[in-house]
Each structure stands twice: as C-alpha cells, then as structure tokens.
Amino acid sequence: MGGGYKMPRHLRQQSPSDVYHFINRGINKRRLFRANSDCQSYYDCLLEFRDKFRLEILHYCFMRNHTHLLIKSPDLPSLTRFAHALHRKYAKLYSKRHELEGVVFHPRSKQLCVAKEDYFSECGRYIERNPVNAGIVNNAEQYIWSSYRFYAYGREDELVTPSPVYEGLHPERNIKQELYRFYVSQPRDSEKMNLTLYLNVKRDRVLSY
C-alpha cells in the first residue's frame, strides 16, 4: 500500500460495530504459504478458532506473505485469544511441514476498527482485490483463496458469514451477485483505501473507510 496511507500500529479501542480488519504478516515479510496445502491448513485453523471464540468472518484473503480478514468479534479479548491460538497452531503445522525453525508470524498483528456498517463493503472490496492489485491475477474470480467467489457467484464457503451490507443489496440472489461483481471489478484511480478517516479516541485510533 503506497501513497500517504498508513495503518495504526496497534488498536485497543473496541469497535462500535464489533468488526475489525485483521491483518497478519510473515516475520520479515517471509512467506506464510508455499503451497495450496498451507492455505488449506490455515483455512482449517480459521474454522476451528472462529467457532471456539464465537467470531464471524465476513471477508478474507490469503496472500503469499500476509492475510486479511474482516472479523466480527464480541469483544477485543476474544479477538486477541483468537489471534494467539491461530498463530500458534498454524506456525507449528507450517514449520513441521517445511522443516523450519524460528518465528513464522510478525509479532504484531493489525486489528483495525471498522466503525460503521457502511464501510464493510469497502473493506471487503479492498481485501478481495489484493491479488489483483498485487498483479497475481487479472481479476478477483481467478484467485482461489479469498471470499470473492462466495459473494460474486454463490460458491459454498463455510468460513464466511455473509456481510449484512451484501445481504441488503437486492432480494434476488442473482442480481445481488451481479451487483457485487460490478462493484468489485471497477478499477479506481488509487487502489489504496481512499475515504480513510482516522479518529483519535483518547490514545487509540479508529479506522473508518
């Protein structure tokens, strides 16, 4: 992400919507996924700990050295415990599979507060366009490891809880999917998250976009 856009390093403020843009990175920008089997392992870990900590995952994308999740959590402690459990289990699986030693994840994950429901779709669009913006694929539907095809084509994906904004697009499923495809496919002058607004709440920062 270029330009003047910078994410907060840490967030302790509870989101008014209970929704967070959750970002994990590999230590020193190293790969988190070397094969589809790694992505599947991470997906399975997400399923396990999503249920354990009673979270909802609205959007996701697994990139080579980082991941994006749009998560609804009842509270920040649950989100923190989720992150620790997820990192610990996947790092153990990944290290054993590839005979690695040392740290896998960057020690600080980013948990950005998405303050209003109106911004859910903008964040979801940003997450699902990551592979396009990185030049990995030409369009979002070509990328396997994201929630895009769930929303755009109705592909079954047990990890995803439908976003309420998506659900409200149209009562007919086919039209809703068509609207979503159009929304995500349209290029913009800048693919960083435009419409960003940082609100200082005491010493914490809430991200709206």
Local confidence band at 6 (pLDDT 50, 70, 90 cut-offs): very low
pLDDT at 196: 36
Local confidence band at 200 (pLDDT 50, 70, 90 cut-offs): very low
Q: How many domains does the chain have?
A: 1
pLDDT at 11: 47
pLDDT at 156: 96
Q: Does the pLDDT at position 96 exceed 50?
A: yes
Q: Of 75, 54, 65, 56, give the one whose Cα is nearest residue 23.
A: 65
Local confidence band at 189 (pLDDT 50, 70, 90 cut-offs): low
Say if 5 falls within a structural domain. Answer: no
Q: Of 60, 74, 54, 69, give the one whose Cα is nearest residue 22.
A: 69
Q: Cβ(207)–Cβ(200) under 8 Å?
A: no
Average pLDDT over residues 159-186: 95
Rounded to the nearest integer, the mean pLDDT of the chain is: 84
Say if 7 falls within a structural domain. Answer: no
Q: Which domain holds residue 156?
A: 19-208
Say if 24 falls within a structural domain. Answer: yes
Say if 6 falls within a structural domain. Answer: no
Say if 13 falls within a structural domain. Answer: no
DSSP string for residues in the chain: --TT----S---SPPTTSEEEEEEEBGGG--S-SSHHHHHHHHHHHHHHHHHTT-EEEEEEE-SSEEEEEEE-SSHHHHHHHHHHHHHHHHHHHHHHHT--S--B-S--EEEEB--GGGHHHHHHHHHTHHHHTTS-SSGGG-SSBSHHHHHH----TTBPPPHHHHTS-SSHHHHHHHHHHHHH---S--S--S-EEEEETTEEEEE-
C-alpha triplet 35, 2, 206: angle, nearest 5°: 95
CATH number at residue 66: 3.30.70.1290
Amino acid identity for residue 103 in this structure? V
Say if 11 falls within a structural domain. Answer: no
pLDDT at 126: 93
Say if 8 falls within a structural domain. Answer: no
Average pLDDT over residues 9-35: 84
Say if 10 falls within a structural domain. Answer: no
pLDDT at 54: 96
Q: Cβ(163)–Cβ(58) under 8 Å?
A: yes
Instruction: Please give the backbone phi and psi of residue 194, each rounded to the nearest 5 degrees, phi first.
Output: -65, -175
User: Which tens digit of pLDDT belongs to each residue from 120-170?
Assistant: 999 999 999 999 999 999 999 999 999 999 999 999 999 999 999 999 999
